[in-house]
Structure 1
């Protein structure tokens, strides 16, 4: 259960870094936004798994501490989610304003160029460059999505291993309790047997003493 809590803290640190890049404008790409969305989903899944384990905790003190940690994690998750939605809205508004400004600029720029053929050739080169940049950016984003998908898959594997270890410990504890009960039952049976042996021995001893006294005197 502690491993899940530590894993959730690492996920929060990663989310803080990603949201910081988005907020500072270092990276406002669609790839980063998709990565943040996937990180939020992974964090929520970790919190739910941690909550399920905490509900099965048999030690009250540990259970209360786990519930307190879960409450804090859920608050952090909600804050991350609200911050992400706010940043997405800000970026959307910025794109809308830029598009509006570009459209107004095109409307005002209606004069005929001095060299139309050169202008047309320049437009073709610019279009080719834009297409090349778009393809490069697409390849980069695909690599980012694949990398993030691998990270999410590794997180799922880690959570699965953690749950398996928790289940194994619970089974070991159950087996230990079963063994303790068996030992107690064996001791009780052996004590009862010793009691009857003692009573039988006492009767035989008393009878032998009575026989010796009766027949030899």
Structure 2
């Protein structure tokens, strides 16, 4: 159980480091956002696993301590998730502003209107629709990448659990086999001892009978 808790702390530290880069605008790419999203998903899985282990703990003191750790981890997770949502919204707002500025700059710098047969009011509405479509498409692609990353992570997590269960069963079988070998070796040693005791008894009996016959006749 302690290993799971340490793993959760390590995951939390990794997410915090990525969020710091994102917040300082060192890396605002789709890749870092997907990495943070996957990290949060992995952290939540680990917290749920640790929570399950804590509830099955038989020693009351250890259980209370573990449940307190679970509560703290969930608070930290919610804090990180809310921070990530705020940062994503900030980047979305920046994208909207940059696109609007770029479109307005192109229109002001162009000597020929982009739509010469329509008035300015309709042109602005169409630009707004284009911006909205672009942002929706970008957000859809991002959600698709994140969902794909979560699916891959989930598969890796399930495979890891399967390998752990297989390893546990192999170790149990190995321990059982090791115990059986010890019992067999003990039986073999005891059989050898009994065999020599029997031979010794036969020899002693024969010698006693010879001595009796030799000295009494």
TM range (shorter): 0.5 to 0.7
Aligned residues: 182
Check whether the contact 1:43–1:77 (CA below 8 A) recurs between aligned residues: no
> Aligned residue for 1:61?
none
**Does residue 78 of the first structure (1) align with residue 81 of the second (2)?**
no
Distance (whole Å) between structure 2 residues aligned to residue 187 and residue 86 of structure 1: 68
1:204–1:8 Cα change, 3 Å: farther
1:52–1:42 Cα change, 3 Å: same
Aligned with residue 127 of structure 1, among 106, 126, 129: 129
> Equivalences for 1:1-217 in 2 at 5 Å?
8=8, 10-17=10-17, 20=20, 24=23, 35=38, 38-47=41-50, 74=70, 77-84=73-80, 87=83, 91=86, 117-215=119-217
Distance (whole Å) between structure 1 residues aligned to residue 74 and residue 152 of structure 2: 25
Deviation of 1:198 after TM superposition, in Å, equals 1.5
Higher RCO, Cα 8 Å, sep 6+: 1
Check whether the contact 2:43–2:77 (CA below 8 A) recurs between aligned residues: yes
Distance (whole Å) between structure 2 residues aligned to residue 139 and residue 13 of structure 1: 27
Distance (whole Å) between structure 1 residues aligned to residue 7 and residue 119 of structure 2: 61
Residue deviations 1:69-105, cap 9 Å, x none? Answer: 96796365234234246648x94xx99xx9xxxxxxx
Distance (whole Å) between structure 2 residues aligned to residue 13 and residue 210 of structure 1: 90
Deviation of 1:41 after TM superposition, in Å, equals 2.9
Q: TM-score, normalised by structure 1?
A: 0.60
Residue deviations 1:23-78, cap 9 Å, x none? Answer: x3867x997886465223321254368769998xxxxxxxxxx99x9679636523
Distance (whole Å) between structure 2 residues aligned to residue 210 and residue 12 of structure 1: 89
Distance (whole Å) between structure 1 residues aligned to residue 2 and residue 174 of structure 2: 18
Check whether the contact 1:44–1:77 (CA below 8 A) recurs between aligned residues: yes
Gaps of 5+ in 2: 94-117
